[in-house]
Amino acid sequence: MDLGSREAFDRAGTLGIEEEFFVVDDAGRPAAGTDELVYENDPPPSLEGRLDHELFKFVIETQTPTVGSLEEARESLEEVRTALLGHAADHGFGIAAAGLHPAAKWRELDHVEKPRYREQLERIQYPQHRNTTAGLHVHVGVDDADKAVWIANEMRWYLPIMLALSANSPYWNGFDTGLESARAKIFEALPNTGMPTVFEDFETFQRFERTMVETGSINDRGELWYDVRPHSVHGTVEVRTPDGQADPQRVLAFVEYTEALVEDLAARYEDGESGADHRREFLEENKWRALRYGRDASLLSREWTEAVPLGELVERERDRLGVSGIVDVYEAESGATRQRRLMDESGLDAVCAALRLPGAA
């Protein structure tokens, strides 16, 4: 049984970044390249053991090494992305990033043959068959299992801020959804996704993991795809909220913010602060506002008494935590707005070109 343990939570402040990307052809359209890139050819040394695929043959995933600082995370991110771009180019592919690829039509794309994903397709059916999503996952190490569960509980209120800032997927299956992050809505059609409920402590969380596996609800703990979770193998709090991003500076802004939130919440836990125990319905309302309106969202306050514009929340977080990256993201053109602008000005080719990673040919 694939379950983690309390002992995994033995280091505080470590960082790890997982990114899901799209393999594309010369025209920037989805290309079934993961067999060649993952299985048929050896990756560069810096990608050894850090390269995998997702459900579709045009979605590929990288993982950075576990590092100890934001600067090391920056260096690792650059190294992994550079290696991926070179590996893809060597075999005739490019790499793009967004929450969804605007030219991806799921009925026309191939699923991978890996038994784990084939079983998911059979069990979950339509929601998984159409799941062309790609996201950014950030891990922050926590040195106590109960603390990690408490942090994950408290982290839930902040996730819509990240989602609204990262919203980068207005197009799905060939049409404009009217959403800023259609990825978030497509993905939460799967079971065991979205905002989790509160877990009282690690024992409660692990009992939930075990029950889900033992009852055949999931095959392994990795199929608990919530927006945030204590990762009981890596010993981290894992935030799984943002859309995929082509710009590495945006990725690092979310890493910086996640690290600062975990550090702040860890200190509050150690000071004996009681948890907020927010109602899931209010949290889901904020998530809806974030994925629907993106940068223009107003989110319900922590007291649920008023709607606060995203810009004001970003300023509060900057002043409270001393972070700057999310301010830069907010002040720039959003990913969803940029895609729509390029579509109106120049068409789909321009949107596809804009999603290519910097440095891609």
Domain that holds residue 254: 6-17+107-354
Q: For residue 100, is it within any domain?
A: no
Would you state the pLDDT for residue 23? 98
Q: For residue 205, is it within any domain?
A: yes
Q: For residue 215, is it within any domain?
A: yes
Tell me the average pLDDT across 120-144.
97
Q: Which range among 179-188, 252-261, 269-278 shows the weakest confidence by mean pLDDT?
A: 269-278
Q: For residue 53, is it within any domain?
A: no
CATH code (residue 336): 3.30.590.20
Is 359's pLDDT higher than 90? no
Type of residue found at 135? G
Helix (H) or strand (E) holding 228: strand 228-231
Distance of CA 314 to the CA centre of its chain: 19
**Pairing assessment for the beta strands 236-239 and 136-141 based on DSSP bridges:** antiparallel
Q: For residue 323, is it within any domain?
A: yes
Is 154's pLDDT higher than 70? yes
- pLDDT single digits (tens) 47-88: 999 999 999 999 999 999 999 999 999 999 999 999 999 999
Is 1's pLDDT higher than 70? no
Is 361's pLDDT higher than 70? no
The pLDDT mean for the chain works out to 96
Total Cβ atoms within 10 A of residue 203? 13
- pLDDT single digits (tens) 161-200: 999 999 999 999 999 999 999 999 999 999 999 999 999 9
Helix (H) or strand (E) holding 15: strand 15-24
Cβ–Cβ < 8 Å for 61, 51: yes
Distance CA 351, CA 13 (A): 37
Tell me the average pLDDT across 316-344.
98
Tell me the average pLDDT across 11-20.
97
Is 205's pLDDT higher than 70? yes
Which is it for the CA torsion 26, 28, 29, 32, positive or negative? positive
Q: For residue 111, is it within any domain?
A: yes
Band (4; pLDDT cuts 50, 70, 90): confident
Give the 3-state secondary structure of residue 41.
coil
Band (277; pLDDT cuts 50, 70, 90): confident
Contacts of 184 (CB under 8 A, 6+ apart): 99, 163, 167, 169, 241, 243, 287, 290, 291
- pLDDT single digits (tens) 83-123: 999 999 999 999 999 999 999 999 999 999 999 999 999 99
Cβ–Cβ < 8 Å for 114, 39: no
Q: For residue 28, is it within any domain?
A: no
Cβ–Cβ < 8 Å for 96, 361: no
Residue with tokens 């990690």: 148
Tell me the average pLDDT across 283-311.
97
Q: H-type helices in 198-346, by residue range?
A: 202-214, 248-270, 280-293, 310-321, 325-331, 335-346
Band (273; pLDDT cuts 50, 70, 90): very high
Would you state the pLDDT for residue 3? 77
Distance CA 236, CA 280 (A): 22
DSSP 261-293: HHHHHHHHHHTTPPP----HHHHHHHHHHHHHH
Band (358; pLDDT cuts 50, 70, 90): confident
Domain count within the chain: 1
Band (2; pLDDT cuts 50, 70, 90): low
Q: For residue 300, is it within any domain?
A: yes
Distance CA 198, CA 279 (A): 9
Distance CA 248, CA 78 (A): 8
Number of H helices, E strands in the chain: 14, 13
Cβ–Cβ < 8 Å for 304, 282: yes
Tell me the average pLDDT across 204-219.
94
Cβ–Cβ < 8 Å for 167, 335: yes
Q: Please, which residues bridge with residue 171 across strands? A: 176
Band (360; pLDDT cuts 50, 70, 90): low
Residue with tokens 């948890």: 275
Residue with tokens 């991926």: 84
Cβ–Cβ < 8 Å for 242, 160: no
Percentage of the chain beyond pLDDT 90 is 96
Distance CA 238, CA 135 (A): 13
